[in-house]
Amino acid sequence: MSEITQEKMDQIKAYIDRVKQQPYPTSYLIAVLHYVQGLFGYVPREVMDFVAQEMNLPTAHIWGVATFYHYFNLKPIGKHVISVCMGTACYVKGAHDVLEAIKRELQIQVGQTSEDRLFTLQEARCLGACGIAPVIMIDGKIHGELTAKSVVELIHRYRKAARGKTA
């Protein structure tokens, strides 16, 4: 998904050309970045330069907008995004152990993506499921009452599924 191809660059150019016909084209910058992230899964630095050139804006401005909104990913993300809740209820029930187990299993830190590009690890605040703490969310799906052991088993299931076997 993240590969920069001529076809995708042409699509971005076509999108920007449409935006340029609007009364205040620069006010569409967030929409353009949203479109870029939809194509690549993140906003690549090279594409920011291209957008800057096409929209007659300094790259620094685009960088500022992309970093201000946490919604935008500036690095490639994995197929699955794991958010570990570090809210109070989860923390008290062992979220720290769960997080450490995931970090060990994937050999990454929070904010990073595993080498096989399967998982990106994030921290979150209360995910609204305190009753089944500690909780993690994978691609929007909540998994609760986890332990260091069960979370590793869960990751194994996702790995197997990615290899085309039944989870």
Considering the complex, what minimum distance in angstroms separates the CB of residue 124 from ligand FES? 8
| Cβ-based nearer residue to ligand FES, 74 or 126 | 126
Closest CA to 107 of 95, 121, 87: 121
Considering the complex, what minimum distance in angstroms separates the CB of residue 93 from ligand FES? 8
Residues 57-96 that bind ligand FES (CB under 6 A): 85, 87-90
Residue 126 is a binding residue for ligand FES (CB under 6 A): yes
| Cβ-based nearer residue to ligand FES, 36 or 135 | 135
Binding string to ligand FES for residues 8 to 47, with x set by CB under 6 A, is what?
----------------------------------------
Q: What tokens appear for 117 in the block?
A: 């590009």
Considering the complex, what minimum distance in angstroms separates the CB of residue 92 from ligand FES? 9
Q: What tokens appear for 17 in the block?
A: 């050309």
Strands (E), 36-115: 80-85
Specify the long-range contacts of residues 68-74, CB closer than 8 Å, at least 24 apart. Answer: 69/30, 72/33, 72/37, 72/42, 72/43, 73/37, 73/41, 73/42, 73/43, 74/42, 74/43, 74/45
Considering the complex, what minimum distance in angstroms separates the CB of residue 89 from ligand FES? 4
Single residue of 29, 33, 43, 127 touching ligand FES by CB under 6 A: 127
Largest separation between any pair of C-alpha atoms in the chain = 56
Q: What tokens appear for 113 in the block?
A: 């993506």
Helices (H) and strands (E) in the chain, counts: 7, 4
Per CB under 6 A, residues contacting ligand FES are 85, 87-90, 126-130, 133, 135
